[in-house]
Amino acid sequence: MRLSPLGNRKFIQANRLEFYFGGTELNVGLSLANFGDNVKHITCISDDFIGDTAMAYMNKFDLDTTAVVRSKRPLGAYFLEVGAVMRPSNISYNRSHSAFSEINPSMVNWKNALENGTWFHWTGITPALTQGTFDTLREGLKLASKKGMQVSSDPTYRNGLWKYGAEPKDALTELLSYSTIFIGGINEMNEVLGTTCGSSNEEFIEASKVLMEKFPRILKVFDKIRTSINASWHKIRARMWNGEEFYETQDFDITHVVDRIGTGDAFAAGLIHGLQRFDDIKAMNFASAACALKHTYMGDVNYATVNEVNTLLEGNISGRFNR
Amino acid sequence: MRLSPLGNRKFIQANRLEFYFGGTELNVGLSLANFGDNVKHITCISDDFIGDTAMAYMNKFDLDTTAVVRSKRPLGAYFLEVGAVMRPSNISYNRSHSAFSEINPSMVNWKNALENGTWFHWTGITPALTQGTFDTLREGLKLASKKGMQVSSDPTYRNGLWKYGAEPKDALTELLSYSTIFIGGINEMNEVLGTTCGSSNEEFIEASKVLMEKFPRILKVFDKIRTSINASWHKIRARMWNGEEFYETQDFDITHVVDRIGTGDAFAAGLIHGLQRFDDIKAMNFASAACALKHTYMGDVNYATVNEVNTLLEGNISGRFNR
Amino acid sequence: MRLSPLGNRKFIQANRLEFYFGGTELNVGLSLANFGDNVKHITCISDDFIGDTAMAYMNKFDLDTTAVVRSKRPLGAYFLEVGAVMRPSNISYNRSHSAFSEINPSMVNWKNALENGTWFHWTGITPALTQGTFDTLREGLKLASKKGMQVSSDPTYRNGLWKYGAEPKDALTELLSYSTIFIGGINEMNEVLGTTCGSSNEEFIEASKVLMEKFPRILKVFDKIRTSINASWHKIRARMWNGEEFYETQDFDITHVVDRIGTGDAFAAGLIHGLQRFDDIKAMNFASAACALKHTYMGDVNYATVNEVNTLLEGNISGRFNR
Amino acid sequence: MRLSPLGNRKFIQANRLEFYFGGTELNVGLSLANFGDNVKHITCISDDFIGDTAMAYMNKFDLDTTAVVRSKRPLGAYFLEVGAVMRPSNISYNRSHSAFSEINPSMVNWKNALENGTWFHWTGITPALTQGTFDTLREGLKLASKKGMQVSSDPTYRNGLWKYGAEPKDALTELLSYSTIFIGGINEMNEVLGTTCGSSNEEFIEASKVLMEKFPRILKVFDKIRTSINASWHKIRARMWNGEEFYETQDFDITHVVDRIGTGDAFAAGLIHGLQRFDDIKAMNFASAACALKHTYMGDVNYATVNEVNTLLEGNISGRFNR
Amino acid sequence: MRLSPLGNRKFIQANRLEFYFGGTELNVGLSLANFGDNVKHITCISDDFIGDTAMAYMNKFDLDTTAVVRSKRPLGAYFLEVGAVMRPSNISYNRSHSAFSEINPSMVNWKNALENGTWFHWTGITPALTQGTFDTLREGLKLASKKGMQVSSDPTYRNGLWKYGAEPKDALTELLSYSTIFIGGINEMNEVLGTTCGSSNEEFIEASKVLMEKFPRILKVFDKIRTSINASWHKIRARMWNGEEFYETQDFDITHVVDRIGTGDAFAAGLIHGLQRFDDIKAMNFASAACALKHTYMGDVNYATVNEVNTLLEGNISGRFNR
Amino acid sequence: MRLSPLGNRKFIQANRLEFYFGGTELNVGLSLANFGDNVKHITCISDDFIGDTAMAYMNKFDLDTTAVVRSKRPLGAYFLEVGAVMRPSNISYNRSHSAFSEINPSMVNWKNALENGTWFHWTGITPALTQGTFDTLREGLKLASKKGMQVSSDPTYRNGLWKYGAEPKDALTELLSYSTIFIGGINEMNEVLGTTCGSSNEEFIEASKVLMEKFPRILKVFDKIRTSINASWHKIRARMWNGEEFYETQDFDITHVVDRIGTGDAFAAGLIHGLQRFDDIKAMNFASAACALKHTYMGDVNYATVNEVNTLLEGNISGRFNR
């Protein structure tokens, strides 16, 4: 649950908030649902009217919520002050004892949850929270891997997390061993490989090769690159190494950022959608355009449809009306 | 009636809307009223509290509403999702059986309505709706022409309309035969002339000449050109051919578009105001500045006064305070 | 789609609206969904972003939307000015050419739609709109009756409707012939029977008997009685005749009405839920309490859960906190 | 200009305000305009964008604003904290040097302003502000009286005003000498007559007789009586003495007051409308119902139409829908 | 931190929230600050921008915040759905690992905190949360008692709390042994004494006597009695036993409850203010009126000033304007 | 008190306002308070609930309000229409008879007010209002100078003020004679010196030298330079002459201005904070960064903390999240 004052006010200026439900994996799921894909979200939320509201929020997007677990703990929340121009956004989390943080493997029936599933997506936020979230995710990943599902990984490394005792490198190494697609940049590869590569394309390819050597199931590496002129003006491009080809997209110039939260998740969702339908380059282009469009929506969710992403890919960026 | 969520939210994100009254001809009228000109609006609106509210809205701007007809049909409405950056805006219309769509010539007393009038403005939206709107407009145009009124035409061609059976080219040809000023670009001229001219200045002049030959009452052609970097950043300039001179204005760089709806109408209103007071070039400059300013107001209406347009024309674009 | 200014403002005082989706049958469905029941809604909505938003709205409540048809016509809408104290509410409809009004039997696959269904609910608004809505409903009713489903009827008679040529009495008579439960008062019975009974309990029983004689499948008659002190203060009670017993509930005293729209639908939903689980009297008490609670929610929907209705039935009306 | 936080918040709880334009005489005028009567408002407002907004507000209701004077002084404003239940509302004025307070007789062309006028209404607020407002009003009253216009007076006595030096009793005495209708209660009569009558009907008649003796042009006295259970629940009735008959209306029970400001003005407007069309008793009943309805609208203005007042007079207080 | 949708919407209907800071002891402190009294609040809040906002909120009311401790844990929050009529309000807490819940005695310098203090107020919520909150409070109470401060106790017993292992009866017994004023009803006395008294005045006096015998420092018992017609309409009165006199106030009839949260705290604050200035009866009357007024303010805080409470005590409940 | 419609609406489009408290000196004070500095604000505000709200607003930021005087006059207010792109903002003042305008020296106890003070800041708005504001300020300046306090002056010259009779040049000359820091540009220096210097760096240095000669106590001159691309896009830099060094900062490019009001005050506050802690160049850099950040906050107040300014100074302008 994300709570933030309207516009780019600070909490001290406000007495009204807007709320959304989000979270990196949910954002990916909702974006895919908006593409018309069948998505099941596996999580644990509170068993109160806040949790009911979250449930309704997921149903609204036609997300499959049958594997959602409810618990007596409150729903995790974060407070957001949206920045502007050279003022960064501020986030304050209240999730350390949330329903999701206190999940444990006994609470999820992975066998049922993954039935008929073909693709499994996870991010590095989940294993970074608690032993319980790590263990639960590991169980799921094991089963997904065993069932031969594609496993996309977005191991977003964020210091400030990983407080419960696990060593990020070791934990991520185990989880990546079940993965087939790596979504992340030099930072994440350095963290996992213990290397200190730079961010040039050459080093990106080099690091990707090392990564694929260490994790032989990983066949493709995708990296989204953001250039921030300031908090209100970004540029987005992506690059990839799939073992054979390197490719880099053009920049999308996002001159008036509406909301940057969830843009990485929109990229991941674009990839997951695209890789099931297109070749790698087209999938990455689709993902970049999806990511760019996400910057134009308030909230964590990418509302763009497949049609809307394609229209942008065809070069229609002038924002004419759809009547 | 325009209904849209606040900010650039989509309907699916919203439960509150903001509403305005607008429509291309009304926008022109309100802009002229804000210039202090005497304007009479001729239309048909619903005979319910929505129509009452529209009536009050027009009165608020001191528009002459004595020729407005009321009917049992609902007021036409459209729903708008405002885009941002590379996301286009979406519009969904609900007007096919509206009070205005079901107008017919017997409902308007044109003789009274045009009494003391000197200028008649129409756009291509009206004849594109139904046989009744076409017929009613034709009646008015005939009388206006007979009375020797100036007739400005903005035949905005929009496919998606013209569903009731009339052939756009034929219908517009008849209506343009009563007109003295043409406001439109290459697209509109091609549609009316059946030509396929390009958009260069040379071709614009050429097409204008052909147009004036076909419609000898038309003495001046004005064209507003929009360059969209994206949905949030536009540039505006204008050009004209008055049978003798070609002239093109400088660009106005609208770096942060607030609302682009009604900007073409603001241009038309600027021309109508200007051509009654200034030479053609000054009138077009006035119209361009008015059009540029409209991009800074929420809603369909251009609130700029003559003073404010002139201040901009004098080069004051730095946005200092008026205290 | 219901559009109304915030609070009890008039449109002329407002520039912001709140919107909800509703409609008598949808309200019944959503209330049942909030009771946790499985409900499928059969309707026709627009194939645009407004329709998408309506779809999301229904999904949010976990309503089965698989039988919803989409069409090119706009979604029906109504504008509402909420009254207060001695000021009545005003409604202006824009639905005469809506997606739903222009439905016809060829658009609904009733066989699929009713598969596994056990209860069919209809109201008198649907057959009152157009020949198409009447015909479509009749098709469904025939099949429902053939399948032996329970059929609850809320023939709400509203003059101002029934403009398309059908004779209300004849049309309702045909539709009621497929029905098993009658929800309505003396007005509706008089309309259908051509009688002029008064509203006393005795006459209610008498009229019910006549009704059951004429429509032998109808086994139970339920009537909700509203006493309005003014627009802000109502009392609600209900009575029934099931061929054997007459019963009348106590009054619920709704001293501060929040929103009375959809309260009749909440009563119907309470009955449909209750009659499948409880005896007639308990079902009617449940329905009355549900109806009373609906007056406390903004919008058309009754958000009350089964637990909340039961708590009220147990006499807890003091509004203490649920912590 | 009235500025108040939304709902019944205090300023210290708020950062948003709602604004309306009002003032006792304007309220009377707008209410009459909503009855469809021709009304001209004579005042002085600021020559800035606030004044422009006030102007547009009056035009919106189709009030004749041709006699409005503009000045360099700011528009008068008041801040309002709306009370609830046993909490009274708080008002803080900022009008002592406003455009209106600094009006003087040289600014108003009464001859033009009163042309074709048949009724003149004034209240005791105007002469209580400054010598300039007193003098300007006196000029108008003299001319109105000379032209034989009906003059209704609402001398609302409010201590806290009358700070500029004039003696209220003397000033009001002069102004009442031009008046033909007196709207006010025992307090006002005591103030003007120097008496100490009680509020019983007998004493009301007695005081009215004394008043008519002192002011022989006054032919009718109307008194609106408010019984406040608390700030949220009022009862309203009215009584009159027209030299021959005493009459007292029934109570209107306003169980949920929305906004009580301007309710006295709605009564005055109801009288002015009614006395030009009905007998005294019907006029007073009309005025009472209008006053009661005003309690249901936010803001200073009574939006009730003649139809709506009549519907209430016919006893329809149950607040059923107008569809 | 209290988060609730506007009006009486449920979370599932809303995407906007209003937030306030509150909590039983803070409410008492802020109410006293609004009476103009010097108050120091001792608590632990989060060391982030939410905590900064809470700090600013307390400073705004001129509360002494020098003894507030900051910690890395998030601020406790609760979500509130405001009920209406027969619908109760719902509360969901998120405070079990909040900054305040994880306070411990080592974090508060009681010696400094209580310097120059003469009155100490505590409630039963604090000791019910965790061992740390209990221990910290006990430390403070011991010192307050040793310094001879007045100690008012509002042991509000709420099942659903007291989960950390302590036995409520034992814990409260220890804390009450340091107290001089008891604010609470039969429920609280039964809980502490292990009795099962009824709620009649006789039993109240009896129970009070037993209480005073067990806790000889307690000299006065005050009880606020709420009669809820429904969630929107309450009556409030109070009674007391001071060892010598029994006294019961009149009812305040709160016909339109705005917000009932914090009304008990307003009563306590009224007592604390009153007992330092008036005799017991006047203090209780003052407290009752303060409590009644609190029902008219949104949020947890009683904004009433001493003047406003006195005005109500003088019988002015008609809600006339303060100009 | 600043009152403006939400977003960049005009008053004629709005019925809701947002309000803030501000004023050039208060803005400086609040910005310093947000830096954690001890600040006392000396002013006169109204003795009503608006003044109470202003008082609470200042307390909220922990400003020392003990020297604030209250009077019976209303609080000064201004109405603001926020511009966009090439549309300038409009301001309309209502302050000519405000509490502050009618201050006079007898109302301020300067001896107490300045006790323990080390820095005095004044601006040219205060002496421009009335003889009373001028006299009161002069008294304070005299004492501050006598006590050896640093005196920073921001003599912002604004024609449209200075209507009460004083000659700006003479008045400012007297006040500057007590000053030690001059914050202002060529315009201000020309006004005070009677010169006509241009805006080049060379002329700036020259003018500064002349100024320092005329006002020997002034040791440093700081000038903030704004380049406005339009109302929504500004660039900010600063330059200084301290008798020895000239220095000019880099540009801050503010591509999406949120609110430019109070940005000059943020610069002044940055200087006052910086000059007490850093060398002149670092102080000016700090002030520029503070000024740039102010453009990102709604309202008059700069909410930036010292940390946030320093982060920007270190070159972090990409607007990444602070988690």
Segment A267-297, tens digit of pLDDT: 999 999 999 999 999 999 999 999 999 999 9
pLDDT tens figures, B81-93: 999 999 999 999 9
Q: Does B53 touch chain C (CB under 8 A)?
A: yes
- Report the topology of domain A24-41+102-313: UDP-N-acetylmuramoyl-L-alanine:D-glutamate ligase (3.40.1190)
Nearest CA in chain F to C14: F15
Instruction: Give the model's pLDDT for residue D317.
Output: 73
Q: Which two tokens stand for residue A35?
A: 């593409």
CATH assignment of F26-40+103-313, given 3.40.1190.20, 3.40.50.1970, 3.30.300.130, 3.90.1150.10?
A: 3.40.1190.20
Band the pLDDT of C322: cuts 50, 70, 90: confident
**CATH class of residue range D22-313:** alpha beta
Query: Is the pLDDT reported for residue B32 higher than 70?
Result: yes
Superfamily of domain C24-47+104-313: Ribokinase (3.40.1190.20)
Distance from CA of C11 to the nearest CA of B (A): 6
Query: Is the pLDDT reported for residue A47 higher than 90?
Result: yes
Residues A12, F252: C-beta atoms closer than 8 Å: no
Give CA–CA dist F18/D9, Å, rounded.
14
**Neighboring chain D residues of A14 at a CB cutoff of 8 Å:** 15
Torsion of CA A293, A295, A296, A302, to 10 degrees: 60
Query: Is the pLDDT reported for residue F299 higher than 80?
Result: yes
Residue contacts between A and B (CB atoms, under 8 Å): 78
Instruction: Give the model's pLDDT for residue C319.
Output: 65
Band the pLDDT of F159: cuts 50, 70, 90: confident
Q: Tell me the pairing of strands A119-123 and A150-154.
A: parallel
Give CA–CA dist D216/D210, Å, rounded.
10
DSSP letter (8 states) at residue E87: B
**Neighboring chain F residues of C14 at a CB cutoff of 8 Å:** 15
Domain map of chain E by residue range?
Answer: 24-55+62-73+97-313
Amino acid at C209: K
**Neighboring chain D residues of C77 at a CB cutoff of 8 Å:** none
Q: Which of F12, F50, F93 minimises the CB distance to D92? A: F50
Give CA–CA dist A171/A160, Å, rounded.
16
Instruction: Give the model's pLDDT for residue B319.
Output: 64
Count of alpha carbons within 13 angstroms of residue D89, beta-carbon side: 21
Q: Of all residues in chain D, what percent are helix, strand and coil, respectively (each to 5)? A: 35, 20, 40
Band the pLDDT of C111: cuts 50, 70, 90: very high
Give CA–CA dist F75/D94, Å, rounded.
8
**Over residues C162-169, mean pLDDT:** 92
Nearest CA in chain A to F233: A85
Q: Which of F56, F61, F62 minimises the CB distance to E61? A: F56
E strand residue ranges, D21-116: 44-46, 69-71, 77-81, 90-94
Residues B16, C11: C-beta atoms closer than 8 Å: no
Q: Does F146 touch chain E (CB under 8 A)?
A: no
Nearest CA in chain F to B297: F9
Q: Does F96 touch chain B (CB under 8 A)?
A: no
- Report the topology of domain E24-55+62-73+97-313: UDP-N-acetylmuramoyl-L-alanine:D-glutamate ligase (3.40.1190)
Helices (H), chain D: 24-34, 49-60, 110-114, 131-146, 168-176, 186-193, 201-214, 263-275, 280-294, 306-313
Helices (H), B20-150: 24-34, 49-60, 110-113, 131-146
Q: Does A7 touch chain F (CB under 8 A)?
A: yes
Instruction: Give the model's pLDDT for residue D268.
Output: 98
Distance from CA of E50 to the nearest CA of A (A): 7
Q: Which two tokens stand for residue A161?
A: 């997390």
Amino acid at D132: G
Are D82 and E258 in contact by the 8 Å Cβ rule? The answer is: no
Nearest CA in chain E to A91: E49
Nearest CA in chain E to C323: E91
**Over residues C30-46, mean pLDDT:** 97
Q: Does E60 touch chain F (CB under 8 A)?
A: yes
**Neighboring chain B residues of C91 at a CB cutoff of 8 Å:** none
- CATH for B24-41+103-313 is 3.40.1190.20
> How far from each other are the two terminal CA atoms of chain F, in whole angstroms?
34
**Over residues A236-257, mean pLDDT:** 96
Query: Out of C150-164, D119-133, D194-208, F196-210, which region has the weakest mean confidence (pLDDT)?
Result: C150-164
Instruction: Give the model's pLDDT for residue B307.
Output: 94
Residues D60, B60: C-beta atoms closer than 8 Å: yes
Mean pLDDT of each 10-residue bin along chain D, 323 residues long: 92 93 96 98 96 97 96 95 92 93 96 96 96 97 97 89 92 96 94 92 96 96 95 96 96 95 97 98 98 96 96 82 80
* Interface list for D 8-27 with A (CB within 8 A): 13-15
Residues E94, A92: C-beta atoms closer than 8 Å: no
Q: Which of B56, B61, B62 minimises the CB distance to D61? A: B56
To test the contact with chain E by mutation, choose from D15, D87, D89 the residue with the greatest count of E C-beta atoms within 10 A, namely: D87
Q: Does F291 touch chain A (CB under 8 A)?
A: no
Q: Which two tokens stand for residue F83?
A: 């511009």
**Neighboring chain E residues of F60 at a CB cutoff of 8 Å:** 56-57, 59-60
Instruction: Give the model's pLDDT for residue C320.
Output: 74
Instruction: Give the model's pLDDT for residue D96.
Output: 87
* Interface list for B 228-287 with A (CB within 8 A): 228-233, 256
Query: Is the pLDDT reported for residue B5 higher than 70?
Result: yes
Residues C13, F13: C-beta atoms closer than 8 Å: no
**Over residues B177-199, mean pLDDT:** 94
Instruction: Give the model's pLDDT for residue C218.
Output: 97
Neighbours of A196 (CB within 10 A): 9
Instruction: Give the model's pLDDT for residue F320.
Output: 73
**Neighboring chain E residues of A20 at a CB cutoff of 8 Å:** 15
Nearest CA in chain F to D78: F74
Band the pLDDT of A319: cuts 50, 70, 90: low
Residue holding tokens 């009669």? E227
Residue contacts between B and E (CB atoms, under 8 Å): 5
Residue contacts between A and C (CB atoms, under 8 Å): 16
**Neighboring chain A residues of B258 at a CB cutoff of 8 Å:** none
Residues D88, E255: C-beta atoms closer than 8 Å: no
Instruction: Give the model's pLDDT for residue F319.
Output: 64
Q: Which of D258, D311, D321 minimises the CB distance to C91? A: D321
Are A53 and E11 in contact by the 8 Å Cβ rule? The answer is: yes
Nearest CA in chain C to E258: C256
Residues A88, F321: C-beta atoms closer than 8 Å: yes
Would the CA dihedral through C257, C258, C263, C266 be positive or negative?
negative
Q: Which of F293, F295, F321 minimises the CB distance to A91? A: F321
Residues A57, C60: C-beta atoms closer than 8 Å: yes
Amino acid at D122: W
**Neighboring chain B residues of F8 at a CB cutoff of 8 Å:** 258, 296-298
pLDDT tens figures, B281-319: 999 999 999 999 999 999 999 999 999 999 999 988 776
Helices (H), chain B: 24-34, 49-60, 110-113, 131-146, 168-176, 186-193, 201-214, 263-275, 280-294, 306-313
Distance from CA of A17 to the nearest CA of D (A): 13
Q: Does B225 touch chain A (CB under 8 A)?
A: no
Residues of chain E where predicted confidence (pLDDT) is lower than 70: 319
Q: Does F59 touch chain D (CB under 8 A)?
A: no
Amino acid at C256: H
**Neighboring chain B residues of C10 at a CB cutoff of 8 Å:** 49, 53
Please report the ipTM that was assigned to this predicted complex.
0.93
